[in-house]
């Protein structure tokens, strides 16, 4: 393959990886019946945590750990309201997104109020030539999630909690605990996805830098029909669209860049319009569950 094609493929993978990471987390959460639309916010929290800890420690690993912790804290907040208090999950998720946008924005400005040049975050490089650590992690995650959901008893119990919470509960499945665990897992994955933005795609934090990736990941779960491989395929499709769009921008296309930037969002809408009606969500998705007394 010629150099431009290889570059395009590399760029596709760069854009696809954070989407796939976040979508795998949401897949597990939704399989357990938890609809958390706060992925965007959790990614953003992960990105800021990764940046600050990465810069102050110089360690990419510490940065990723911090990103996971920050995003998990937000997912715990979501769980406290949406699962424990049975508040509406859509409203809770929206609040989570607004909270993350405001909290990361104000925190970032307070921490860097002196101005000046921003320090660069440490990088996560390739584990083997051409395969970035985050992509390798995403592939492992994909395999693990598939194995877990399709081939393990725990995965079956988790899906039962999402399909028929009452019945699963009657069978002795710890529905509330599984849903909490799935929510935290979703948070952790979103955190890693956010870290990838800072430690790989960019090297600084920018307010609102997730720019809708969390929502695209949400759409990918639907588009992929709750099947891990198809979700990953969707992530690659979106990665390719983003990569192409930036290629056109760089090539000085006559199409205004603002319209090119719309591509991923318009594509998501189109894909949803074509496929959303066909995929069947877990029956008890976003329905409240109260354990028997």
Partner 1 sequence: MKRARVFAGPIAATAVAFVVAGVWLALLGADPLRALGALVGGAFGDSLALETTAVRAGPLLLVGLGVALSFRCGIWNIGGEGQVAVGALAATAVATRVAAGAPGLVALPLALLAGTVAGALWAGIAGVLKVGRGVSEVLSTILLNFIAALLVAWAVHGPLQEASGAYPQSDALPAAARLALLPDLHLAHSGLVLAVLLPLAIWALLFRTAAGLRLRAVGASPEAARYAAVSPELETVRVLLLSGALAGLAGAIEVCGVTGRLFENLAAGTGFTAIAVALLARLHPLGVLPSALVFAALAAGSGAMQRSAAVPSVAVQVIEALVIFFSVGFALPRRESA
Tokens of 74: 């937000």
Residue 282: what are its φ and ψ, rounded to 5°? -50, 140
Q: Report the interface residues with partner 1, using CB under 8 A.
A: 37, 77, 80-81, 85-88, 90-92, 94-99, 101-103, 105-107, 109-110, 113, 207, 211-212, 215, 218-219, 222, 256, 258-259, 261-262, 265-266, 268-269, 272-274, 276-277, 287-288
Q: What is the DSSP letter of 206?
A: -
Residue 99 or 244: which CB sits closer to partner 1? 99
Contact 18, 196 (CB under 8 A): yes
Alpha helices (runs of H) in the chain, residue ranges in sequence order: 3-31, 39-57, 60-78, 89-111, 133-151, 153-163, 165-170, 175-196, 213-223, 228-250, 257-261, 263-275
Residue 81 or 148: which CB sits closer to partner 1? 81
The angle at the Cα of 90, spanning 87 to 94, to the nearest 5 degrees, equals: 105
Residue 86 or 154: which CB sits closer to partner 1? 86
CB of 215 to partner 1, least distance (A): 5
* Beta-bridge partners for 128: 131
CB of 26 to partner 1, least distance (A): 12
Residue 150 or 255: which CB sits closer to partner 1? 255
Is the C-alpha dihedral spanning 241, 242, 245, 247 positive or negative?
negative
CB of 288 to partner 1, least distance (A): 7
Residue 101 or 176: which CB sits closer to partner 1? 101
Instruction: Name the 3-class secondary structure at 293.
Output: coil
Tokens of 69: 């912790």
Let me know if 54 is exposed, middle or buried by CB neighbors in 10 A (0-12, 13-18, 19+): buried
CB of 95 to partner 1, least distance (A): 4
Largest interatomic CA distance in the chain: 65
CB of 113 to partner 1, least distance (A): 7
CB of 175 to partner 1, least distance (A): 16
CB of 15 to partner 1, least distance (A): 16
Residue 60 or 83: which CB sits closer to partner 1? 83
Residue 140 or 269: which CB sits closer to partner 1? 269
* Beta-bridge partners for 126: 132
């Amino acid at each position: 393959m010629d150099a431009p094609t290889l570059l395009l493929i590399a760029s596709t993978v760069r854009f696809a990886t954070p989407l796939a990471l976040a979508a795998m987390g949401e897949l597990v959460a939704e399989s357990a019946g938890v609809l958390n639309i706060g992925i965007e916010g959790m990614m953003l929290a992960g990105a800021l945590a990764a940046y600050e800890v990465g810069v102050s420690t110089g360690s990419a690993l510490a940065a990723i750990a911090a990103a996971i912790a920050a995003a998990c804290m937000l997912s715990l907040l979501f769980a406290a309201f949406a699962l424990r208090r049975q508040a509406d999950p859509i409203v809770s998720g929206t609040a989570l997104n607004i909270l993350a946008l405001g909290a990361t924005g104000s925190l970032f400005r307070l921490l860097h109020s002196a101005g000046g040049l921003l320090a660069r975050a440490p990088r996560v490089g390739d584990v083997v030539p051409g395969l970035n650590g985050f992509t390798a992690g995403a592939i492992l995650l994909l395999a693990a999630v598939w194995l877990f959901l399709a081939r393990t008893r725990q995965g079956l119990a988790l899906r039962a909690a999402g399909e028929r919470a009452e019945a699963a509960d009657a069978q002795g499945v710890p529905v509330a605990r599984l849903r909490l665990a799935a929510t935290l897992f979703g948070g952790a994955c979103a955190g890693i996805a956010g870290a990838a933005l800072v430690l790989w795609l960019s090297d600084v934090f920018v307010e609102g830098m997730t720019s809708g990736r969390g929502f695209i990941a949400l759409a990918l779960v639907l588009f992929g029909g709750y099947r891990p491989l198809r979700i990953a395929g969707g992530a690659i499709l979106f990665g390719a669209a983003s990569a192409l769009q930036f290629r056109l921008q760089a090539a000085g296309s006559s199409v205004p860049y603002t319209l090119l930037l719309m591509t991923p969002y318009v594509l998501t809408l189109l894909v949803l319009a074509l496929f959303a009606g066909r995929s069947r969500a877990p029956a008890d998705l976003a329905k409240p569950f109260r354990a028997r007394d």
